[in-house]
A and B are shown apart, each in its own frame.
Chain A
Amino acid sequence: MEFFKNTNIDFLGKKWYFLTFSLIFSVAGLLSIAFWHGIPLGVDFRGGTLVYVKYAHTPDLAAIHSDIERAGLKNERVQSYGPATNNEVLIDLDIRETSEQALDQGKNLIIQALESHATPGRQDLNNSSSLAIAKYLLDKDPLHLAADADANARYTAIAQAIVDYRDKVKGGVLGSIDELKSVADPAVVASLEDNFFLSDFGIRNVEIVGPQVGQQLRKQAILATLYSLAGMLVYLALRFEWIYGVAAVLTVFHDTLITVGAFSLLNKEISLTVIAAILTLIGYSNNDTIVVFDRIRENIKLLRRDKLADIVNKSINQTLSRTILTAGLTFLTVLALYLFGGEVLHNFSLALVIGILIGTYSSIAIAAPILVAYQEWRGERGKQPIAMPLRAGSGPTQPKEKVKV
């Protein structure tokens, strides 16, 4: 089976279409960054408090919202999270409600606000940790173990069993304390029933990032991206010619810009993992570019008389089959990640989905034309419009002994 056989498409002839296409997307992204959504930063970078809450029933977002407002918190966002059947809600407090002095103040206020039907003097079993339950049991001693040396260990184990049942079997929310009879002694359950109540939600996940860390991570993300680009530039300049490095880095920059722009247009948040995805696609897009460049280098040696534009076109066509296949296969895996990878990986895989499409396109439509444009510019300035010279030792004539790994 073969999809592409001896294609002969004049890619360079279409460079103005490509340029227009790229410009539209880059400018749209830039406009969105400048005037619309900005760069939506995830909690890692902007700081703030995220509380993921799972409800026993379909959550009423408006009621949650007003409960939280009543507790005196401002600027919170309440949205449902993941598939609707999960009954999950994400509550997002911005950095102004996250003080450095009491980092978890916002979280505690949210929990208090949502426990609006709390029984005074009782603890919420759905939001008690195993440590807190163990502490309670040790104190009340429903099994009368006070004299035993291992009372602490036994109550800790019971508390762990209760929490495991709640989190792993019941998905985080107990319907009634009675359900615990299957994992704990009746005396323990009776004691819990007297001193605990059940709210209709459980906290699944909390992320609190103070302003200092947010700033620190922002700086690191930018540095990591820049170092990554610089690393590519140096490597390609050493392996090829400097103009190849410049072309590759410009291409990757174009990809990053469009991906970040897309996140801004879609108003999706850029988190640490999205940065990881962007760095990955920098590597991926470079892969594609290098494959084409390698072929150009090889063809320059074989077809010394031809114009660079023709050589580049021929090289793109020769590698087109590989480019499309690899892109397609990688895209398949990333799509699987996007569709089945779950909510946590959602933005991460979205960045990869966009990045692989753009990265594949750009190595054909951006990187190669830059090489040709540079050469033509040199030609106009009166210098000899020759094909790029080759570096000794890097040509395709040596591979035979290198193959023997």
Chain B
Amino acid sequence: MVIVGILLVFVFGIFGVPQEWSGTGLLAAITKRINLGLDLKGGTHLILQVQVNDAVNVDSDNALERLKEDLRTHKINYAEISKPDALNHPETIVVKGVSPDQTSDFKSIISDRLPDYEPTSGAENSWTVAMKPLSLDELKKRAVEQAIETIRNRIDQLGVSEPVIQENGLGKYQILVQLPGVDDPARVKQVMQSTAMLEIKQSLGGPYPSEQAALQDKGGVLPPDAVLLQGKSIGSRNNDTGEQWYFISRASAVSGRDLRTAEPTTDENGQPAVRFILTSEGGRKFYSFTSAHVGDNLAVVLDNKVQEVAVIHDAIRETGIINGRFTQQETQDLSMTLRSGALPAGIKYLEERTVGPSLGADSIRSGVRAAVFGMLAVLIFMLIYYRWAGVNADIALILNLVILLGFMGYFGAVLTLPGIAGVILTVGMGVDSNVLIFERIREELRNGKTPPSAVEQGFGHAWITIVDTHVTTIVSAAILFLFGTGPVKGFATTLVFGLAANLFTAVFVSRVIFDWVLSRKQRGEALSI
């Protein structure tokens, strides 16, 4: 009774309640319950590394600016302040030549204003101001989390079903991205990595045909409050002829941080464009800027490229349009990247795998074929070799598979191609328990024991061995699970579930069947084994 109940529970685990009782209906039910791995389904697998030092550099750059400012306001003299090794030690700022009688002021400024930093004194009144290790770790961790969040936002908008975006536990600052059904990693990367830094600034002059021409116009020197930027639409429908250069103010009226949302739209000529809406704070800033600059030129700058320059006719509060001669797809991509914010740090790709859907389908076919052949060979052999006891073993084996697949259905475990191999291996190793028991029973019978006591002894002796063998195999499978990635993990999962189920079926179920057979036999009648 117990066995039938368990059987039903696990069959439910595999199929759920199918919509229809036909082959295709059952197949659909199985694929809904059991998750296929990327190697069977097809898709893209990426491992990327967050360049956390970028985030640290941003933080320490800010800290350096703040420190400079504070030292000035507190009238503390120093010879030089710099970050000597931004590449390898982005967390370190060195201040040279701080006068000795101002040391305590210097220290108190840092502890007040830069609580994440710690000053240590060095030779000749120089101070090394480095981020505290705890804060540094925290900052790096946050950069990775934020990168995951940003990437997830962007991937979500690609409309991929069931993407996996998580920290890759095996390496430092690595992110694993798995996108089932996506066969174009180049496009995914493009969407993931686009930074789209939006700034709206004042245009101070231009356009000029070249950098030299622009500089000549200002007497050969760059005005201190301006930068020279190229006017180049990032839209692919731009028909820019020749170069255009503009002087753009350093300070921006509003930036990407002031953005509330962005959406694709069309401009007054019916061309695709992007409409952005600012936050109320951003809107206030934008309003005060535009009302002060009516008649001046305004530049929309995206990733340091001037998209368009327009005259401010009126004070604008919180909404505007970017027209960069985009295609419709580009307006969608751009709105999306504007909405999802910028990555906190650069990313570097470490691994890229794409499995085409046709290959996955082939793999399933050959994997299932191998499983069926292997299983049939074992089932038939057991029948021939052990006769009625072979039926017993075959029942146990089939039940073993049902439980294994049911487990996987319940736990949402992922079935990979090596996982299918794990199922096949479970059949081979699962039958070992039955062989162990049956051989022992035969031996006891040969030694003259009666069938009931031979069964009793056989199970008893084999049980210890079975526990030992299963534990050691589960140990190595568990280690595989901890260390492995993707497909290998799938293999370890099926092996562990399969062996655990085997303990139940080969020992308990087989025993119950034997007892049932024995109870129907006359005393002294032989056992078919």
Contact = CB atoms under 8 A, between A and B. Distances in A.
A334 B328 contact: no
B465 A294 contact: yes
A2 interface: yes
A1 B476 contact: no
Given A224-B480, A334-B424, A342-B366, 14 more contacts: A108-B186, A146-B328, A167-B358, A172-B358, A206-B185, A208-B353, A231-B479, A235-B475, A273-B418, A283-B473, A284-B429, A291-B469, A332-B378, A333-B428
Contact of A352 (B328, B425, B482): B425
Given A291-B465, A348-B421, A332 B183 contact: no
A135 interface: yes
A93 to B, nearest CB: 13
Nearest to B489: A276
Interface of B: 39, 47, 49, 158-159, 170-171, 182-187, 327-329, 332, 348-359, 361-363, 365-367, 369-371, 373-375, 377-378, 381-382, 384-387, 417-418, 421, 424-425, 427-429, 431-432, 435-436, 439, 442-443, 446, 456, 459-461, 463-465, 468-469, 471-473, 475-477, 479-480, 482-485, 487-488, 491-492, 495, 504, 507-508, 511
21 contacts: A6-B446, A103-B352, A129-B184, A135-B187, A146-B328, A207-B352, A207-B353, A231-B472, A232-B475, A236-B472, A282-B476, A290-B469, A326-B431, A326-B432, A330-B428, A333-B378, A340-B366, A341-B370, A345-B370, A345-B418, A405-B508
A334 B378 CA distance: 11
Given A132-B187, A344-B417, A336 B373 contact: yes
A73 interface: no
B484 A224 contact: yes
Given A224-B484, A286-B469, A348-B421, A168 B373 contact: no
Contacts of B355: 205
A349 B369 CA distance: 14
Contact of B357 (A164, A223, A231, A322): A164
Given A283-B476, A342-B366, A396 B464 contact: yes
A239 interface: yes
A279 interface: yes
A216 B418 contact: no
Contacts of B432: 287, 322, 326, 329-330
A334 B431 contact: no
Shortest Cβ-Cβ A-B pairs, 6 listed: A129-B184, A342-B366, A330-B428, A336-B374, A333-B374, A283-B473
B498 to A, nearest CB: 12
A279 B476 contact: yes
B483 A220 contact: yes
Nearest to A86: B362
A276 B183 contact: no
Interface string A1-15: 110011000000000
Interface in A121-155: 129-132, 135, 138-139, 146, 152
A280 interface: yes
A269 to B, nearest CB: 15
A104 interface: yes
B289 to A, nearest CB: 35
A180 B108 CA distance: 74
Contacts of B361: 168
Given A279-B476, A330-B432, A103 B439 contact: no
Given A163-B183, A213-B47, A235-B472, A340 B358 contact: no
A399 B464 contact: yes
Contacts of A130: 183-184
B436 A231 contact: no
Nearest to B332: A152
A242 interface: no
Contacts of A135: 187, 329
A228 interface: yes
Contact of A341 (B366, B464, B491): B366
Q: Is the interface of B mostly helix, strand, loop or mixed?
A: helix
Interface centre among B329, B355, B363, B427 (most CB of A within 10 A): B329
Contacts of A164: 357
B351 A286 contact: no
Contacts of A325: 385, 435, 439
Contacts of A283: 472-473, 475-477
Given A2-B442, A272-B485, A340-B373, A333 B187 contact: no
A233 to B, nearest CB: 10
Interface string A267-302: 000001101100110111011001100110010000
Given A204-B358, A227-B479, A280-B495, A332 B463 contact: no
Contacts of A335: 374
Contact of A276 (B351, B460, B491): B491
Contacts of B421: 337, 341, 345, 348-349
Contacts of B480: 224, 228, 276, 279
B185 A104 contact: yes
Given A208-B351, A224-B480, A291-B465, A334 B359 contact: no
A313 interface: no
Contact of B354 (A205, A286, A287, A291): A205
A87 interface: no
Contact of B352 (A172, A202, A208): A208
Contacts of B485: 217, 272
